A = this chain, B = another copy of it.
Amino acid sequence: MAVQTHEKPAGDTVSLGPASALSCRECGERFPLGPIFACEACFGPLEIAYDLPTGDPEGLRRRIEAGPNSIWRYAPLLPVPADVVDRPATSTNPGFTKLVEARNLARELGVTGSLHIKDDSGNPTHSFKDRVVAIAVEAARAFGFTTLSCSSTGNLAGAVGAAAARAGFRSCVFIPHDLEQGKVVMAAVYGGELVGIEGNYDDVNRFCSELIGDPLGEGWGFVNVNLRPYYGEGSKTLAYEICEQLGWRLPDQLVVPIASGSQLTKIDKGLKELIALGLVEDRPYRIFGAQAEGCSPVSRAFKDGHDVVRPVRPDTIAKSLAIGNPADGPYVLDIARRTGGAVEDVDDGRIVDAIKLLARTEGIFAETAGGVTVGVTKKLLEDGVLDPSLTTVVLNTGDGLKTLDAVAPTTGPTATIRPSLEAFRAAGLA
């Protein structure tokens, strides 16, 4: 790999566009922008504080609309250098994926308003992870890191490998040693270092935490650990795109998958920013979280009326959502309750049915996480929780090609025949 030099800027300040500081989500303590992720005072999670370009919404809207067909059109609202748009090779330039008006699916589900699928399978490595990694890459560059890293069992490994390759970083990704060969290939093909760890995913994570604290890990940016405050902001772009693609309008209802819960909280943050900036009208929206029954700690807490999320041991085909102890679970509960939403879950059978339902109505082949959101949407409509007369957006965050095994056992030919018209006639398909 052609590793380029990433010079750390002189002095202690970095320039990441409108990002002004890191702020503790719990106690509000502020810190200069840097590769830290936990509050020194209370150990709460840090997030980005901004000086956003208020005062001229029309000018901002025009500037966004004149931008590239990627997340970089929203650079004025992201923790990235102002010139990110003009640089030729940032990372994979993800985003501005299709918002598909799902008329066939709406008809089948009895939706009389409008139903839309935000289809992130159109990203460069076919999941929403390209968004978050792209932002982490810009932070890594600003902080002078030369190696990009993460622990992963799937989508994130590919997103980091691809972004590092294109942006000229070394990458070193850690995976459990016994992953399926297909996933290993997807993680390894971009040519970075790929290290199998003899242990399960928890062992991999523990090892990465050790490495961050050790001199061996110096110069390493772990996208979802020491770069996490930046990384997480990538999910805001989903909110921006949905509103712009609806004609600068808030959806009434959003159905969002929950893994760590970060994505859902950042979508809420993005919507609030658009309101504050005057880019969309300020009116209520409701956010619904979706989990697989086999890993539904947030759904459980929501239904039980609890504020704390009790960890579970995941057991579901929706591997990309299988986080048993979701860090942002309490924030998700808060958002679902504050906006008048809900958190619901569906079992593996309904996940598979929902993947097939979306494929046969809209021609979109979703990952299991997309089966979770579509399945939960169906359930919430059946239960009268979602209002069928409103504008609803459902997220598909990944690609069915990556989770073929989920549908393979129940998806096959209608018939197998000899190559003759008689045989075809007999099969009754004409």
Residues of chain A whose beta carbon lies under 8 Å from any beta carbon of chain B: 1-2, 69, 88-89, 91-93, 96, 98, 101, 103-104, 107-108, 122, 124-126, 158, 161-166, 168, 172, 175, 177, 181-182, 184-186, 188-199, 203-204, 206-207, 210-211, 214, 216-217, 355-356, 359-365, 399-402, 404, 407-408, 411-421, 424-425, 427, 429-430
CB contact under 8 A between A364 and B124, given known A103-B88, A168-B104, A185-B411: yes
Q: Which of B93, B199, B356, B424 contacts A216 (CB 8 A)?
A: B424
Chain B residues within an 8 Å CB radius of A91: 363
Q: Which of B166, B198, B355, B424 contacts A363 (CB 8 A)?
A: B166
Complex Cα distance, B255 from A32, in Å, reads 49
Do A185 and B404 touch across chains, with their CB atoms under 8 A apart?
yes
Q: Which of B101, B165, B182, B199 contacts A419 (CB 8 A)?
A: B199
Chain B residues within an 8 Å CB radius of A197: 416-419
Do B126 and A401 touch across chains, with their CB atoms under 8 A apart?
yes
Report the nearest B residue to A91, measured CB to CB.
Answer: B363
CB contact under 8 A between A412 and B364, given known A108-B2, A355-B189: no
Do B195 and A365 touch across chains, with their CB atoms under 8 A apart?
no
List the 5 closest pairs (A to B, CB-CB), nearest first.
Answer: A191-B360, A162-B363, A196-B416, A166-B363, A207-B419
- Extra contacts besides A104-B165, A162-B359, A165-B359 (5): CB < 8 Å: A175-B413, A190-B359, A196-B413, A197-B417, A199-B419
Most buried by B among A125, A413, A421: A413
The 10 listed contacts between A and B (C-beta, < 8 Å) are A161-B363, A165-B361, A184-B411, A191-B360, A193-B429, A196-B413, A196-B415, A198-B419, A199-B419, A210-B421
Copies of this chain held together in the complex: 2
Do A198 and B416 touch across chains, with their CB atoms under 8 A apart?
yes
Q: Which of B125, B158, B421 contacts A211 (CB 8 A)?
A: B421
Do B124 and A101 touch across chains, with their CB atoms under 8 A apart?
no
Complex Cα distance, B404 from A184, in Å, reads 10
CB contact under 8 A between A424 and B195, given known A2-B107, A207-B419: yes
Chain B residues within an 8 Å CB radius of A96: 69
CB A160 to nearest CB in B, in angstroms, measures 10
Do B420 and A207 touch across chains, with their CB atoms under 8 A apart?
yes
Report the nearest B residue to A192, measured CB to CB.
Answer: B360
Do A89 and B104 touch across chains, with their CB atoms under 8 A apart?
yes
Do A195 and B412 touch across chains, with their CB atoms under 8 A apart?
no
Chain B residues within an 8 Å CB radius of A414: 193-195
Do A195 and B429 touch across chains, with their CB atoms under 8 A apart?
yes
Most buried by B among A161, A214, A399, A419: A419
Report the nearest B residue to A182, measured CB to CB.
Answer: B404
CB A137 to nearest CB in B, in angstroms, measures 11
Chain B residues within an 8 Å CB radius of A162: 359, 363-365
Do A124 and B188 touch across chains, with their CB atoms under 8 A apart?
no
